[in-house]
Chain A
Amino acid sequence: RKEVEQDPGPFNVPEGATVAFNCTYSNSASQSFFWYRQDCRKEPKLLMSVYSSGNEDGRFTAQLNRASQYISLLIRDSKLSDSATYLCVVSPNDYKLSFGAGTTVTVRA
């Protein structure tokens, strides 16, 4: 079983729509959870951390369900600039990150 699994998509949504997707992780001892964003042919960049209580950053909302071992990301009021691949990242310790293969989101005008 993969450490981190994501639906690859693509999720094709119109501008202004809401899009949401999940990722699941296999290591129940995982301590920290994050979403990264990777634009085409660019490097990954940290988008936001994911906290047990759920957290928002502008139009982005992240949720963590430890019991079911999944993480979600919701994007409201999608913009064209939100088109990217979103990487789910799980960290069991201070120096190791386990990445999912990514979920591709395409926002169309």
Chain B
Amino acid sequence: ETGVTQTPRHLVMGMTNKKSLKCEQHLGHNAMYWYKQSAKKPLELMFVYSLEERVENNSVPSRFSPECPNSSHLFLHLHTLQPEDSALYLCASSQADRAVKAFFGQGTRLTVV
């Protein structure tokens, strides 16, 4: 139990589907992150929310849409994805000025067919 919970753990979706990934943290942190991890590639930072405001958006395609309704919850809404979007999507949380002390969730393994 890491204190950061992601659901679902596994997701298979078609290119025309719409789905959402959910992340919840119970650590009292005020910053949350979405990362993408593809096979044999480094983790890529997608979005950062600090104090519920988005502070980083690393040129992520618009088919990925984040939502942070409060400091404990983070969503990643997915629509019209491509097969190359198949990856492990990791959520993390930290105090706003301590990204390195982030705790990661176990990830959602996404397969786009």
Taking beta carbons and an 8 Å cutoff, which residues of A are in contact with B?
2-4, 8, 32, 34, 42-46, 49, 87, 89, 91, 94-102
Interchain nearest-CB distance for B68 vs A (Å): 14
CB-nearest residue of chain B to A49: B100
- The answer on a CB contact under 8 Å between A43 and B90 is yes
Interchain nearest-CB distance for B108 vs A (Å): 11
Query: Across the interface, which residues of A come within 8 angstroms of B102, CB to CB?
Result: 46, 97
Interfacial residues of chain B within 4-57, with CB under 8 A of chain A in the complex: 31, 40-43, 45, 48, 50, 55-56
Taking beta carbons and an 8 Å cutoff, which residues of B are in contact with A?
2, 31, 40-43, 45, 48, 50, 55-56, 90, 96-102, 104-107
Query: Across the interface, which residues of A come within 8 angstroms of B48, CB to CB?
Result: 95-96
- The answer on a CB contact under 8 Å between A43 and B55 is no
In the complex, A4→B43 CA distance in Å? 11
CB-nearest residue of chain A to B58: A96
Q: Which one of A4, A42, A97 contacts B100 once the chains associate, using CB atoms below 8 Å?
A: A97
How many residue pairs link A and B with beta carbons under 8 A? The number is 56
Q: A87-B43, A95-B31, A97-B45 are in contact. Are A43 and B99 (CB under 8 A)?
A: no
Q: Which one of A4, A32, A43, A95 contacts B107 once the chains associate, using CB atoms below 8 Å?
A: A43
What are 10 A-B contacts with C-beta separation under 8 Å?
A: A44-B43, A44-B90, A44-B104, A46-B102, A95-B48, A95-B97, A96-B45, A96-B48, A97-B100, A101-B41
- The answer on a CB contact under 8 Å between B106 and A43 is yes
Query: Across the interface, which residues of A come within 8 angstroms of B98, CB to CB?
Result: 94
Interchain nearest-CB distance for B4 vs A (Å): 8
